[in-house]
Structure 1
Amino acid sequence: MIKNRYIVLFLALPLFCSCSKEAGEEVNPNAPAGLEARIAGVSLVTRGGAATASDISTLGIYAVNSVSSETAYGTAPAGTYCEYKIDKGVASPKDAAAPLWLYREKATIFSCHPAPSSASDIASGGTATDPVPTVKIPAAAIGHTQSAIATVSGNVYDFADAAHDYMYGVAYDDKQSTEAARYLATQPVADNGHVGAGTSGPKVAIGLKHAFAQIKLIISKDAAYKGDAKITQVTYTRKMKTLKSDGSTTMSLKDGTLTNTADLADTHCSFTFAASGGVATTEATGEKAAPVILVNYVLPNAASKSTFSVTVDGKAMTMQHASDPEWEAGNIYSYTISIKPTGLALTGFTVIAWKDESQPDIPTI
């Protein structure tokens, strides 16, 4: 199964001197270097969640010293945090008066999206030689009960908000032959050093990976169904992990592992429509079907049975699914459900990596 990939950022580390260089003067070797991040390109485009660099407004950078005798960023595994803002692909410290400086010391660069508003939301962990910082994830990042307002552009209700697309950064190597191989299992290291005035230090390339999965429910109307197919309620039920209501769930900035999640025996993803409802249509002459499509984030979960319930034309229809697979971070799990005269039927199921590629059996959104 394709692992979770998303977007590549290149953190350029140009050297800014605190004093100007006069003719014949030596540059202060202890002058700080400012950290500047630039979005060099999008490697994969998502369906739901952040789709382009413009969808990323914040980026959290956490630097941890890599050499035991160095403490510019604190005593490892503790480090220094800085929130960056993204504007037209360029990242700069949100607080210009308190930027994150890189000295000559070597640092492991951990990163996350969205950036926490406070350094207190990132906790140091692990050991000095194997730091594992974590970031808190608020319960509001995933809403399992949603109210779908009827849209004028179609029947797509996307609740995978880009601002809640939780990701962690790993080292990215564009010299690898395949996209999968370019996302490494380690974090990038910044070793800027003193390179002289007017020159830049080495680039640090970060590949962001998703910590969440997505589900997509595609509800269509069978040609034999004679009703209007007006949908007012959709509920998907399955044993699944959820975010803790007190905001204590955390994501590892090393490998995206989620800890302190709530594990409920019977959890619902529920969508309630406005009075106008959503209407699933069949294919008409020369026109494609317009199913109701619901998209939402979910946490990675073990395999489980599930239940689909759809209230259509005022009648509740229920369908059991005995073999729902394991959900893995970075994948989208799409269920195509058909409204038939005798009830609901699961007519399609696909698993794709979280990227922009066509799916032959359901509409592309």
Structure 2
Amino acid sequence: MFGGLFGRDVAIDLGTANTLVFVKGQGIVLSEPSVVAIDTKTDKVVAVGSAAKRMLGRTPGNIVAMRPLKDGVIADFEVTEKMLAYFIRKVQPQRLFFRSFVGPRVVVCVPSGVTGVELRAVKEATESAGARQAYTIEEPLAAAIGANLPVNEAQGSMVVDVGGGTSEVAVISLGGIVTKSSIRIAGDDIDDAISTYIQKEYKLAIGTQTAEQLKIELGSAFRLEEEESAEIRGRDLVTGLPKTVVITSEEIREAISVPVDAVLAAVRDTLDRTPPELASDIMDRGMILAGGGALLRHLDERLRRETGIPVHVADDALMCVAIGSGRSLEEINSYRSALSSA
């Protein structure tokens, strides 16, 4: 009878690079970059998501396009709140307007290494954005649920979730995380490493979007059967004029070796601290790669060679965390131990 009075329950994978929104009963309904453009004169939001991302590095003086999350946590509270409010509103039916009655229940994913202050900031921003009740779930746990791993059973499941701001490695058993590593080195650092390398080797300045494109087109964690190359344009740091250079996949692999090695070190560190019984489960069943970083070519092969453990890339690597957090909301009684509402 009162079903129509309440907002649709929502799960949000609030990522440094992208935000995905899962609506109960509908699945993932929105996937947009975590970027907000604000007019500094009026303090009004000009654009959110894809429209704002296109403005990065291209705005006039009075408009600032920014990413309000850094390293997986809130860097700008007010802007994050506006972005969350925009996304929550966008997925709610227009006829609902009794705000106090109808705020939806919202689950937000957080990195497993967040501090208490950072966790509180996420909850407060979610409640200020219109949630009736805010829960949080740790990203590796959400990724495991989304990848259909038996998280509530007495057997070890291992997840490596490489996002934009953080890389999370966790061993899960009986609905909780047994050992974990959370490092603030991930996809964004790979982009930065590419920009820095090109600046140093070619005296060429490129934007973040060009660096990301290079990572997608040429990036790999292990040598390719056929190396590739691409033409890139940027600003010559010596003359100040536009310039074009050709860069190869081998150079990109060398450029990103430090952040990739850091992710591998986090995996080894987690395995090192895993109880023997769970380690043998993982040896049998392998680990799951999730997050946007899982799409870096041959990262699975590199992990397999360095750890000797089978590695599987999740079917929906980019959406795994959002699907898992949505499922935890749909089957809230089964996953109550994974959700935190304090």
Compute the TM-score of the two structures, normalised by the length of structure 1.
Answer: 0.28
Compute the TM-score of the two structures, normalised by the length of structure 2.
Answer: 0.29
Of Structure 1 and Structure 2, the greater strand share is in 1
Specify the structure having the higher radius of gyration (Cα): 1
Of Structure 1 and Structure 2, the greater helix share is in 2
